[in-house]
Amino acid sequence: MEKLCGIVEGIIYENPANGYTVCDVSSEGKLYTLTGCMPGLSEGERLEAYGEWKNHPEYGEQFNVRMFERMMPQSEDEIEMYLGSGILPYVGKSTARKIVEKFGKDALDVIELDPDRLIEIKGITKAKATEIYKRFVEQIGLKKIVVFFQKYGVSPNLAIKAYRTFGENIVALVRENPFVLTAIDGFTFKTCDQIAQHMEIPKNFLPRIYAGLKSILMNSAYLNGHTFLPKTMLVGQAKMFLEVENEQIEDAVSVLAMQGDVVIERMDEFDAVYLRLFYDAERSVALRLREMSGMIYEVERTCLDEMISVAEGESEIILADAQRTAIDAAMRNTATVITGGPGTGKTTIINTIIRIMEAQGKKIALAAPTGRAAKRMTEVTGVEAKTIHRLLENMPGSDGAQVCFAKNEQNKLDCDILIVDEMSMVDILLMHHLLLALPQKTRLIMVGDADQLPAVGAGNVLRDIIESDSIECIKLTEIFRQAKESMIVVNAHRINKGNMPYCNDADNDFFMVNCQDVDCLCETIADLCETRIPKAYGVDSISQIQVLTPTRKSQIGVQNLNEILQKRLNPPKLKGAEKMSGGCVFRVGDKVMQNKNNYNLEWTRGDSEKGMGVFNGDVGFVTDINYLAKNMTVTYDDEKAVKYEFDFLEELELAYAVTVHKSQGSEFDVVIMPMFDTHRLLMTRNLLYTAITRAKKLVILVGKEEILKKFVSNDNIQPRYSGLKEKMVIR
């Protein structure tokens, strides 16, 4: 390999996803073009690169980099260019010039060894000087570790995480066993396996098999919602995935069980293999719900009837028999489920229960799984509702990837009755933490729609509770007169029964636009969002219209539709701020969604309120992009403002279009959904039902009628492996 040393004069192209970079480097008075994996490069940096010269047919001679190392700049001009590249927070070109004018060639030594002197520069406060120092020292200290990881395609951000987790010995640890990295959020098994392959570690390396098995179980939980896998299925998947023999896999499962990493439980017809995390949660939830099912409150019939009558008079309503039955059950039981589709009176029941309990001087808490669902619950009840995470006072766990709660077994919630809405969205881990914090005699009322899609996380909590017959469940089926006026409600129930929806009544709220090819479909959706719906209904094209789609990929998928809609609804502006990350461009005004739970993110609301945690599916708007501070601000629906460092923007994605799964718990004025060929497992009745029940005012389906018929006729529900139902049944 040849060697080339020089200074980065400009970045021509950079792909943040894989670190591929094209840049101009000056060396000995000449300018050369370098290409290759050089993540996080900045103008002004001095490089020592190793590689080969190649002749590109269009761009001419280029130096193809195989390995490189950053060298610190030496002359005053180099230092000024380096500092002015934006590599450090709060240091732009003008500030870089002032620093070099003040300290000359000693500027970098001052930043590293005596950073307090930076406050001698106008505009740099003590706090800013500290941030500049931290970032600079981190870059120097991590240089060797970043270089070690970069040859395996690992981003500098992940290299920094590894360093912070394992310390300076990380390189030695990885050389001995690269699968130790799977303990770090962001290091997938695939990444670790690629490192192992580079190191020529054999496929039957035991830590590899252990890590691979745990990866299969974890992915089955977070991608498919399973709390366990049958052992034969796990072994079969592992054989294909790891390319090792069955005997080695079965031995590894036994070792993991002995170590306590997994639990093997005998079901009726097979052995179930759980990750310990999910087994403990499922067992805990089942035991507590069984205990609650045996705790009954004595309620005098006449007294309850009188309380209901008073509540009816105050609300100017007359309850149906099923609603009275639900209220009676909620008063008598420690745990009750109330389930039904849209328009069946669930909100009326909740409001009546609140009035009765308030009249008795009881403390009431309301909660929902998402910020939007909690906000809607507050609006319809007049009582503050919180997300379950906020109710339990979430805070980061010791490893930052998991969560712990201030409200727990030792510090219980302070309420006599807890009503949880949108229960279909609650996964087994969240249910576990909620029940741990629930006082012994507190009534729990679980409200939801069992016909919607199950939670994004692992488990099938609501459906399992209902099917166990261990908890009294009131199923509401009657659609009330006012709800019948909405075709959205009527069609939701028709679809749920396998009937085609009524469409295109000019005076109603449910339409279908015919499009026979996908290009026409995408263009129609863009036109509807940009002009036709805002003009006809007076709604905002970004905040009040939501495109829901079954899939992430393909032309009708999230990625393609977001690209089209962003161009139409929030195009580039001459002086508008924007930032590229991972192939996605973010602009001020964009609608965005958090795509993973992050318990370390700090949010602020107003001038004084602060908290931690932003969660998978939270939707907000980009309100500021600060190049100097190297961060982007997103303000969420509940007015929480979160500053994302540029290095962590991969946790965000555009949300003009989102999957139906990610829309659960939300309501939108207008829902638009494409009706076009996609994977048959996604073309299901309950997915369509979930999508249209997200709309408050208007539903528009765009595409082919035969595809709509496929959705309606397909009542297959993807099975979830979950043992909660079995554990709740008293044998």
- Rounded Cα–Cα distance for residues 377 and 212 (Å): 42
- Rounded Cα–Cα distance for residues 142 and 326 (Å): 61
> Per-residue pLDDT averaged across 108-132, rounded?
90
Residue linked to tokens 């005098």: 300
Tens digit of pLDDT for each residue in 200-248? 999 999 999 999 999 999 999 988 999 999 999 999 999 999 999 999 9
Tens digit of pLDDT for each residue in 699-721? 999 999 999 999 999 988 888 99
- Rounded Cα–Cα distance for residues 446 and 651 (Å): 31
Give the tokens for residue 148: 């070690």
Tens digit of pLDDT for each residue in 629-683? 778 999 997 788 999 988 778 889 999 999 998 888 788 999 999 999 888 888 9
Tens digit of pLDDT for each residue in 530-561? 999 999 999 999 999 999 999 988 999 999 99
Name the band, by pLDDT with cuts 50, 70 and 90, for residue 483: low
> Per-residue pLDDT averaged across 493-515, rounded?
90
CB 123 within 8 A of CB 115: no
Q: Which residues contact 229 (CB under 8 A, 6 or more apart)?
A: 216, 217, 220, 237, 272, 273, 721
Task: Fill in the DSSP letter of residue 104.
Answer: G
What integer pLDDT is reported at residue 140 of this predicted model? Answer: 64
Count other Cβ atoms within 10 Å, centred on residue 9.
Answer: 14
Question: Could you write out the three-class secondary structure of 697-723?
Answer: EEEEEEECHHHHHHHHHCCCCCCCCCC
H-only helix segments in 424-532? 428-436, 461-468, 481-484, 487-496, 518-527
Looking at per-residue pLDDT, the higher value among 647 and 328 belongs to 328
The answer to whether residue 731 scores a pLDDT higher than 60 is no
The answer to whether residue 356 scores a pLDDT higher than 60 is yes
What integer pLDDT is reported at residue 288 of this predicted model? Answer: 96
What integer pLDDT is reported at residue 68 of this predicted model? Answer: 80
Name the band, by pLDDT with cuts 50, 70 and 90, for residue 569: very high
The answer to whether residue 416 scores a pLDDT higher than 90 is yes
What integer pLDDT is reported at residue 239 of this predicted model? Answer: 95
What integer pLDDT is reported at residue 398 of this predicted model? Answer: 55
Tens digit of pLDDT for each residue in 61-84? 899 887 787 777 778 888 888 788
Looking at per-residue pLDDT, the higher value among 147 and 618 belongs to 618
H-only helix segments in 321-391? 321-332, 346-359, 371-381, 388-391
Tens digit of pLDDT for each residue in 418-466? 999 999 999 999 999 999 999 999 999 999 998 988 888 899 999 999 9
DSSP letters of 47-92? EEEEEEEEEETTTEEEEEEEEEEEE---SHHHHHHHHTTT-STT--
- Rounded Cα–Cα distance for residues 479 and 481 (Å): 7
418 to each of 98, 611, 698, how far by Cα in Å? 59, 22, 32
Name the band, by pLDDT with cuts 50, 70 and 90, for residue 86: confident
The answer to whether residue 339 scores a pLDDT higher than 70 is yes
Average pLDDT of the chain to the nearest whole number = 89
What integer pLDDT is reported at residue 570 of this predicted model? Answer: 94
What integer pLDDT is reported at residue 730 of this predicted model? Answer: 64
Task: Fill in the DSSP letter of residue 333.
Answer: B
Amino acid at 518: V
What integer pLDDT is reported at residue 402 of this predicted model? Answer: 62
What integer pLDDT is reported at residue 78 of this predicted model? Answer: 80
Kindly report each contact of residues 605-614 with a partner whose C-beta sits within 8 Å and lies 24 or more positions away, as own/partner.
605/638, 605/639, 605/640, 605/641, 606/639, 611/390, 611/640, 612/394, 612/395, 612/396, 613/389, 613/394, 613/395, 613/396, 613/403, 614/640, 614/642
> Per-residue pLDDT averaged across 375-384, rounded?
91
What integer pLDDT is reported at residue 600 of this predicted model? Answer: 79
Closest CA to 708 of 482, 512, 472, 432: 512
